[in-house]
Structure 1
Amino acid sequence: MKKDSTTMAVRLSMFKLVFALMSLFSVSTHSSIATDKDALQIYPPTCTRIECPNFKTIHVGNGFEIRRYNSSVWITTSPIQDISLVQATRTGFLRLFDYIQGKNKYKQTIEMTGPVITEILPSDGPFCESTFNVSFYVPKENQADPPPAEGLQVQRWKPRYLAARQFSGFVEDSSVGKEAAALKSSLEGTVWGDAIQKNVGDGVYTVAQYNSPFEFENRVNEIWMMFHVEDLSFSAL
C-alpha cells in the first residue's frame, strides 16, 4: 500500500511539473486561427481514444456548427476568479485530476475523458478578474453515481444545444477571445445567434480542450456558445 501511494505521488508530481512546463511552452506556441473554410469538420482525434459526450450535428454554417448534446453528467469546480483563462483552467484541471485519481468520497479512480471545458463569465474590464468554471465529463459507467468530492459539484445536463467553432494549437489568453469573437460574428443575423443572445447575452462562452498537455500535434479546441430551443425565433430543428 505504501509503495502504491508513493508511486501515485510521483506520478502526480511529474504530471504537475509537465503541466507547468507546458504553460511556458504555450506562451511561444502559435495557436492557429481557423478560417471559415476549415473552421470545423474535424472530429477531435482524442475521442477515438477516450470517451467523449455524444452529440448530433444539426446544422453546419459558415464557420460554425450547431449541435445537440444528449443528457450527461459533469463534475465542476467551484467558481475560480482569475485574470487568465489559461491559469484558471490549470487550477481547475489539477483539482479535477486529483478527483479522477481517487481524491473523492469513494476513493475511486475514474477514467480520463474529453473534453475538459472552461465556462467564462468575463469581467467588466481588461484588468479585472473573470469567473471561470472548469468541468470534467463523467464517463458513462460513473454517471449514475458519480463520487462526490469537497469543492466540486455534480452537474446534470439535460439535452442542450450549442454553437461550436474549432481551432488548433494550445489555448492562449491572447487568442481565445479572437476565436470567441469570430464565432459570435459568424452567428450574427442567424436564428442561432439570436437564441444565444437571449440565453446568455454578451460575452459568456465556453472553451473545450480535448488534448492532454503532453500532446503537441493534432490539437483540437472549440469555442461553445449555448442556447435553448425555446429561444429560437422559429422551429429550426
Structure 2
Amino acid sequence: MKMKFLVVLAALITLSLAASIRDEPSFCHGLDCPKYTVTRKIDDYEERQYEPSKWVGTTITSDSYSQATEEGFKKLFDYIEGANKDGIKIPMASPVAVKIVPLPQGQSNYTVLFFVPFAYQSNTSIPTDPTLSIASLPALTAYVGQFGGYMSDKVEQEETTKLKNAMTKYGVQFVQQYSFAAGYDPPFRVIGRHNEVWLIGA
C-alpha cells in the first residue's frame, strides 16, 4: 500500500512539474509569457501550440534588426510606463518579439511586439502614440529554434536560416513570407540568456 501511494505521489508531482514548465518556462523568469504546449520536440526545433494572445506593437522599416528593435523598444517601453489612454503603468512581460517581413533592396518591416500581461489581456489600454497598435494573435502552431547569447542582425539571420533548413529537412510546411525573433532577457543579464526564432505553421 505504501509503495502504491509513493508511485501515485510521484506521478502527481511529475504532472505538476510538467504543467508548471508548460505554463511558466524558467526562461520567463517569473514574468507573464504567452501560454503554449509543446507538441513535438526534435534536436533542431520544438513544435508549440500557442493559445490566443494580445500584444502591443509598432512597425519600423529598416535594413537593421538591431536598430529597428531598439527604436521599437523605446516606444513600447514608454507605453507601459504610462503613455496610454488610461495613464497606467503596465508590468513588463516576456518576450519582446519581432515579426520580420523582408522587403526588396535589403530592408525589412520589423514589427516590435510587447506581450500584454494576463491581467490586461481582456482590457488593454490604447496607446497614445499613433504609431503603436494592439495586435491579437490567434491560436497558432510555431516551430521554434532556441539559443543563448545576445541577439544581433547576424545571429538572427543565421538562426532563422538554420531553422528553415531544419523544417525543409523534416518536410514541415511553414509560412514563407515572414518569421519571428524573440528575446527574453534584459541587456544586463549576461549569463543564461534565452532567445528564440519562430516559423509559423502553414
- TM-score, with normalisation over the residues of structure 1? 0.71
Task: Give CA-to-partner distance per residue, 1:107-138, whole Å, 9 cap, x none.
Answer: 0100001000001112334xx32111011110
Specify the alignment match of 2:135 in structure 1.
Answer: 155
User: How many Å separate the matches in 2 of 1:46 and 1:67?
Assistant: 16
User: How many Å separate the matches in 1 of 2:169 and 2:26?
Assistant: 32
Matching residue's letter, 1:201: Q
Q: Are 2:111 and 1:133 aligned?
A: yes
Specify the alignment match of 1:170 in structure 2.
Answer: 150
User: How many Å separate the matches in 1 of 2:195 and 2:97?
Assistant: 10
The answer as to whether partners of 1:44 and 1:220 remain within 8 angstroms in 2 is no
How far apart are residue 172 of structure 1 and its match?
1.0
User: How many Å separate the matches in 1 of 2:99 and 2:44?
Assistant: 21
The answer as to whether partners of 1:44 and 1:210 remain within 8 angstroms in 2 is no
Specify the alignment match of 1:82 in structure 2.
Answer: 62
Task: Give CA-to-partner distance per residue, 1:37-71, whole Å, 9 cap, x none.
Answer: xxxxxx86441321111100000123101000111
Q: Which 4+ stretches in 1 moved above 2 angstroms?
A: 43-46
User: How many Å separate the matches in 2 of 1:91 and 1:45?
Assistant: 28
> After the TM superposition, which residues 1-237 of structure 1 pair with which residues of structure 2 at under 5 Å, given as runs?
45-77=26-58, 79-125=59-105, 128-149=106-127, 150-191=130-171, 193-194=172-173, 196=174, 200-201=175-176, 204-228=178-202
The 1:213–1:44 alpha-carbon spacing in structure 2 relative to 1, beyond 3 Å, is: farther
* Structure 1 unaligned spans of 5+: 1-42, 229-237
- Paired-residue identity, %: 31
User: How many Å separate the matches in 1 of 2:155 and 2:25?
Assistant: 20
User: How many Å separate the matches in 1 of 2:167 and 2:154?
Assistant: 22
The 1:63–1:139 alpha-carbon spacing in structure 2 relative to 1, beyond 3 Å, is: same
- 1:188 is paired with a residue whose SS is helix
- 2:68 is paired with a residue whose SS is helix
User: How many Å separate the matches in 2 of 1:175 and 1:143?
Assistant: 31
How far apart are residue 98 of structure 1 and its match?
0.3
The answer as to whether partners of 1:118 and 1:132 remain within 8 angstroms in 2 is yes
CA RMSD of aligned residues (A): 1.5
User: How many Å separate the matches in 2 of 1:44 and 1:183?
Assistant: 21
- 1:76 is paired with a residue whose SS is strand
User: How many Å separate the matches in 2 of 1:227 and 1:145?
Assistant: 29
The answer as to whether partners of 1:168 and 1:218 remain within 8 angstroms in 2 is yes
Task: Give CA-to-partner distance per residue, 1:200-233, whole Å, 9 cap, x none.
Answer: 325x2100000011211111000001124xxxxx
User: How many Å separate the matches in 1 of 2:123 and 2:33?
Assistant: 18
